[in-house]
Amino acid sequence: MSNYLFIDECGDPTFYGHRKKLLVGTPGYQPLLLMGSLTTSNRRQLRAAVMQFQQTILADPLYNTIPSVAKPGWYLHAKNDHPEVRAKFFELLRQLPDFAIHIVIGRKKLEVFNRKHNNSPTEFYFDLLHHLLRDCLREPDQTYAIYLAQRGKNNSDRFQAAVDKALPPAGQAAGASGPVVSKLAIVLSSEYPELSIVDYCLWALQRYIFKDEGRFFKALENRYAVIVDIYDEARFSADGHIYGPHNPFTIQQASPFEKPV
Protein backbone atom coordinates (compact mmCIF):
# COMPACT_ATOMS: atom_id res chain seq x y z
CA MET A 1 0.00 0.00 0.00
CA SER A 2 1.29 3.48 -0.88
CA ASN A 3 1.60 6.05 1.89
CA TYR A 4 2.82 9.61 2.03
CA LEU A 5 4.71 11.38 4.81
CA PHE A 6 4.98 15.16 4.98
CA ILE A 7 7.40 16.49 7.60
CA ASP A 8 7.77 19.99 9.03
CA GLU A 9 9.14 21.64 12.14
CA CYS A 10 8.28 24.38 14.61
CA GLY A 11 11.02 26.22 16.47
CA ASP A 12 14.71 25.86 15.67
CA PRO A 13 17.73 23.79 16.78
CA THR A 14 19.90 26.81 17.65
CA PHE A 15 21.61 27.24 21.02
CA TYR A 16 24.34 29.70 20.07
CA GLY A 17 24.34 32.91 18.08
CA HIS A 18 27.05 35.01 16.47
CA ARG A 19 30.54 34.37 17.85
CA LYS A 20 29.22 31.47 19.92
CA LYS A 21 27.11 33.69 22.14
CA LEU A 22 24.83 31.48 24.26
CA LEU A 23 21.20 32.31 23.47
CA VAL A 24 19.51 30.23 26.17
CA GLY A 25 17.19 32.44 28.22
CA THR A 26 17.56 35.50 25.97
CA PRO A 27 14.70 37.28 24.14
CA GLY A 28 13.76 35.45 20.96
CA TYR A 29 15.31 32.14 21.99
CA GLN A 30 13.12 29.14 21.18
CA PRO A 31 13.31 26.56 24.01
CA LEU A 32 11.63 23.78 21.98
CA LEU A 33 12.08 22.19 18.60
CA LEU A 34 8.96 20.32 17.49
CA MET A 35 9.08 18.00 14.50
CA GLY A 36 5.89 16.62 13.04
CA SER A 37 4.71 14.41 10.21
CA LEU A 38 1.44 13.85 8.43
CA THR A 39 0.82 10.29 7.28
CA THR A 40 -1.85 9.57 4.70
CA SER A 41 -2.73 7.13 1.95
CA ASN A 42 -5.16 9.68 0.48
CA ARG A 43 -2.84 12.47 -0.56
CA ARG A 44 -4.94 13.56 -3.52
CA GLN A 45 -8.00 14.39 -1.42
CA LEU A 46 -6.02 16.26 1.24
CA ARG A 47 -4.08 18.27 -1.31
CA ALA A 48 -7.24 19.18 -3.22
CA ALA A 49 -9.03 20.25 -0.02
CA VAL A 50 -6.22 22.59 1.08
CA MET A 51 -5.82 24.09 -2.37
CA GLN A 52 -9.56 24.67 -2.66
CA PHE A 53 -9.57 26.33 0.77
CA GLN A 54 -6.76 28.68 -0.25
CA GLN A 55 -8.51 29.56 -3.49
CA THR A 56 -11.74 30.27 -1.61
CA ILE A 57 -9.93 32.63 0.78
CA LEU A 58 -8.21 34.42 -2.11
CA ALA A 59 -11.55 34.89 -3.92
CA ASP A 60 -13.48 36.16 -0.90
CA PRO A 61 -13.36 39.95 -0.24
CA LEU A 62 -13.98 39.25 3.44
CA TYR A 63 -10.49 37.70 3.59
CA ASN A 64 -8.47 38.63 0.52
CA THR A 65 -7.89 42.19 1.71
CA ILE A 66 -6.25 41.01 4.93
CA PRO A 67 -2.59 42.13 4.60
CA SER A 68 -1.10 38.68 5.17
CA VAL A 69 -3.42 37.12 2.57
CA ALA A 70 -2.93 39.97 0.08
CA LYS A 71 0.84 39.37 -0.08
CA PRO A 72 2.00 37.80 -3.36
CA GLY A 73 2.49 34.06 -3.03
CA TRP A 74 0.43 33.71 0.17
CA TYR A 75 -0.06 30.18 1.45
CA LEU A 76 -1.38 28.82 4.75
CA HIS A 77 1.12 29.22 7.58
CA ALA A 78 -0.35 29.24 11.08
CA LYS A 79 2.12 31.63 12.69
CA ASN A 80 1.49 34.35 10.10
CA ASP A 81 -2.16 33.78 9.27
CA HIS A 82 -4.93 36.10 10.44
CA PRO A 83 -6.95 34.65 13.37
CA GLU A 84 -10.11 34.48 11.23
CA VAL A 85 -8.35 32.54 8.48
CA ARG A 86 -6.70 30.33 11.07
CA ALA A 87 -10.00 29.47 12.78
CA LYS A 88 -11.62 28.72 9.43
CA PHE A 89 -8.82 26.35 8.44
CA PHE A 90 -9.02 24.55 11.79
CA GLU A 91 -12.70 23.93 11.04
CA LEU A 92 -11.69 22.32 7.75
CA LEU A 93 -9.04 20.17 9.43
CA ARG A 94 -11.64 18.81 11.84
CA GLN A 95 -13.59 17.46 8.85
CA LEU A 96 -10.79 16.05 6.69
CA PRO A 97 -10.46 12.25 6.72
CA ASP A 98 -7.53 9.89 6.37
CA PHE A 99 -4.57 11.50 8.05
CA ALA A 100 -2.61 11.05 11.26
CA ILE A 101 -0.06 13.29 12.94
CA HIS A 102 3.12 12.18 14.71
CA ILE A 103 5.17 14.72 16.70
CA VAL A 104 8.47 14.62 18.56
CA ILE A 105 8.95 17.31 21.21
CA GLY A 106 12.63 18.22 21.53
CA ARG A 107 13.31 20.09 24.76
CA LYS A 108 16.45 22.15 24.17
CA LYS A 109 18.69 21.07 27.04
CA LEU A 110 22.22 22.41 26.82
CA GLU A 111 23.75 19.40 28.59
CA VAL A 112 22.12 17.00 26.12
CA PHE A 113 23.10 19.23 23.20
CA ASN A 114 26.75 19.23 24.27
CA ARG A 115 26.95 15.55 25.19
CA LYS A 116 24.76 13.85 22.59
CA HIS A 117 24.76 16.24 19.65
CA ASN A 118 28.36 17.51 19.81
CA ASN A 119 27.27 21.16 19.94
CA SER A 120 25.82 20.77 16.45
CA PRO A 121 22.35 22.13 15.62
CA THR A 122 22.36 19.90 12.54
CA GLU A 123 22.95 16.76 14.64
CA PHE A 124 20.17 17.82 17.02
CA TYR A 125 17.79 18.39 14.12
CA PHE A 126 18.46 15.06 12.42
CA ASP A 127 18.36 13.14 15.70
CA LEU A 128 14.79 14.36 16.20
CA LEU A 129 14.01 13.54 12.58
CA HIS A 130 15.30 10.01 13.08
CA HIS A 131 13.07 9.49 16.13
CA LEU A 132 10.08 10.87 14.26
CA LEU A 133 10.65 8.57 11.30
CA ARG A 134 11.20 5.57 13.55
CA ASP A 135 7.64 5.96 14.85
CA CYS A 136 6.20 6.42 11.35
CA LEU A 137 8.00 3.62 9.47
CA ARG A 138 6.93 0.60 11.45
CA GLU A 139 4.28 -1.10 9.34
CA PRO A 140 5.48 -4.00 7.14
CA ASP A 141 4.46 -4.31 3.49
CA GLN A 142 4.01 -0.55 3.13
CA THR A 143 5.57 1.85 0.65
CA TYR A 144 6.31 5.46 1.62
CA ALA A 145 7.07 8.65 -0.26
CA ILE A 146 8.56 11.14 2.20
CA TYR A 147 8.63 14.92 1.78
CA LEU A 148 10.62 17.13 4.15
CA ALA A 149 10.01 20.88 4.30
CA GLN A 150 13.07 22.87 3.28
CA ARG A 151 14.55 24.55 6.36
CA GLY A 152 18.01 25.90 7.14
CA LYS A 153 20.74 23.35 6.65
CA ASN A 154 18.78 20.18 6.03
CA ASN A 155 20.22 18.27 3.08
CA SER A 156 19.52 15.14 1.08
CA ASP A 157 22.43 13.08 2.43
CA ARG A 158 21.51 13.58 6.08
CA PHE A 159 17.85 13.08 5.23
CA GLN A 160 18.65 9.74 3.61
CA ALA A 161 20.80 8.72 6.58
CA ALA A 162 17.97 9.52 9.04
CA VAL A 163 15.55 7.41 6.99
CA ASP A 164 17.98 4.48 6.72
CA LYS A 165 18.58 4.55 10.46
CA ALA A 166 14.84 4.61 11.19
CA LEU A 167 13.92 1.62 9.00
CA PRO A 168 13.59 -1.67 10.92
CA PRO A 169 16.26 -4.30 10.27
CA ALA A 170 15.67 -6.53 7.27
CA GLY A 171 13.89 -9.76 8.14
CA GLN A 172 12.55 -8.44 11.43
CA ALA A 173 8.98 -9.45 10.60
CA ALA A 174 8.73 -13.11 9.60
CA GLY A 175 6.63 -13.65 6.48
CA ALA A 176 6.40 -9.95 5.67
CA SER A 177 8.60 -7.47 3.91
CA GLY A 178 9.59 -4.34 5.77
CA PRO A 179 8.49 -0.83 4.85
CA VAL A 180 9.92 0.48 1.59
CA VAL A 181 10.78 4.12 0.95
CA SER A 182 10.11 4.83 -2.71
CA LYS A 183 10.88 8.55 -2.73
CA LEU A 184 12.67 11.19 -0.66
CA ALA A 185 12.43 14.89 -1.42
CA ILE A 186 13.18 18.18 0.32
CA VAL A 187 10.50 20.61 -0.81
CA LEU A 188 9.18 24.14 -0.38
CA SER A 189 6.17 24.53 1.91
CA SER A 190 4.68 27.06 -0.50
CA GLU A 191 4.50 24.37 -3.19
CA TYR A 192 3.16 21.49 -1.09
CA PRO A 193 -0.22 22.34 0.50
CA GLU A 194 -0.13 19.12 2.54
CA LEU A 195 2.61 20.69 4.68
CA SER A 196 0.15 23.36 5.86
CA ILE A 197 -1.73 20.63 7.74
CA VAL A 198 1.43 19.60 9.60
CA ASP A 199 2.28 23.25 10.27
CA TYR A 200 -1.11 23.94 11.83
CA CYS A 201 -0.95 20.83 14.03
CA LEU A 202 2.53 21.82 15.23
CA TRP A 203 1.37 25.37 15.92
CA ALA A 204 -1.62 24.09 17.94
CA LEU A 205 0.63 21.95 20.17
CA GLN A 206 3.19 24.72 20.60
CA ARG A 207 0.49 27.21 21.57
CA TYR A 208 -0.88 24.75 24.14
CA ILE A 209 2.59 24.30 25.66
CA PHE A 210 3.71 27.94 25.64
CA LYS A 211 0.46 29.81 26.26
CA ASP A 212 -1.66 27.14 27.98
CA GLU A 213 -4.30 27.70 25.28
CA GLY A 214 -5.44 24.21 24.45
CA ARG A 215 -8.56 24.78 22.36
CA PHE A 216 -6.83 24.38 18.98
CA PHE A 217 -4.95 21.29 20.12
CA LYS A 218 -8.07 19.78 21.70
CA ALA A 219 -10.07 20.43 18.52
CA LEU A 220 -7.71 18.11 16.62
CA GLU A 221 -6.75 15.80 19.48
CA ASN A 222 -7.97 12.66 17.69
CA ARG A 223 -5.55 13.40 14.82
CA TYR A 224 -2.43 13.14 16.99
CA ALA A 225 -1.52 9.46 16.71
CA VAL A 226 1.74 9.76 18.69
CA ILE A 227 3.46 12.57 20.60
CA VAL A 228 6.91 11.76 22.00
CA ASP A 229 8.34 14.10 24.64
CA ILE A 230 11.80 12.77 24.04
CA TYR A 231 13.84 14.60 26.70
CA ASP A 232 11.33 14.72 29.56
CA GLU A 233 13.83 12.93 31.78
CA ALA A 234 12.76 14.67 34.98
CA ARG A 235 9.45 12.83 35.11
CA PHE A 236 10.03 9.79 32.88
CA SER A 237 12.81 7.51 31.67
CA ALA A 238 15.80 8.49 29.58
CA ASP A 239 13.71 7.83 26.47
CA GLY A 240 11.13 10.41 27.44
CA HIS A 241 7.44 9.64 27.28
CA ILE A 242 5.08 8.52 24.55
CA TYR A 243 1.52 9.82 24.35
CA GLY A 244 -1.22 8.37 22.17
CA PRO A 245 -4.99 7.89 21.86
CA HIS A 246 -5.23 5.94 25.13
CA ASN A 247 -2.85 8.28 26.94
CA PRO A 248 -3.41 11.74 25.41
CA PHE A 249 -0.85 14.48 25.90
CA THR A 250 -1.58 17.10 28.56
CA ILE A 251 0.75 19.72 29.96
CA GLN A 252 -0.23 18.52 33.44
CA GLN A 253 1.35 15.11 32.80
CA ALA A 254 4.57 16.49 31.40
CA SER A 255 7.41 18.15 33.30
CA PRO A 256 7.19 21.97 33.26
CA PHE A 257 8.27 23.44 29.94
CA GLU A 258 10.66 26.34 29.59
CA LYS A 259 8.81 29.26 28.00
CA PRO A 260 10.16 31.88 25.59
CA VAL A 261 11.28 35.11 27.25
Model pTM score = 0.93
Supply the CATH classification number for the domain 2-243: 3.30.420.10
Instruction: Report the percent of the chain where pLDDT is more than 70.
Output: 93
Strand order in the sheet with 224-229: 180-187, 143-149, 2-11, 32-40, 100-107, 224-229, 241-243
Domain ranges of the chain: 2-243
For 221-258, letters b (16+ CB in 10 Å) and e give eebbbbbbbbbbbeebeeebbebeeeeebeeeebbebb
* pLDDT, tens digit only, all 261 positions of the chain: 789 999 999 999 999 998 889 999 999 999 999 999 999 999 999 999 999 999 999 999 999 999 999 999 999 999 999 999 999 999 999 999 999 999 999 999 998 888 889 889 988 998 999 889 988 887 878 899 999 999 876 778 888 888 888 887 654 444 556 788 889 999 999 999 999 999 999 999 999 999 999 999 999 999 999 999 988 876 666 556 889 988 999 999 999 999 998
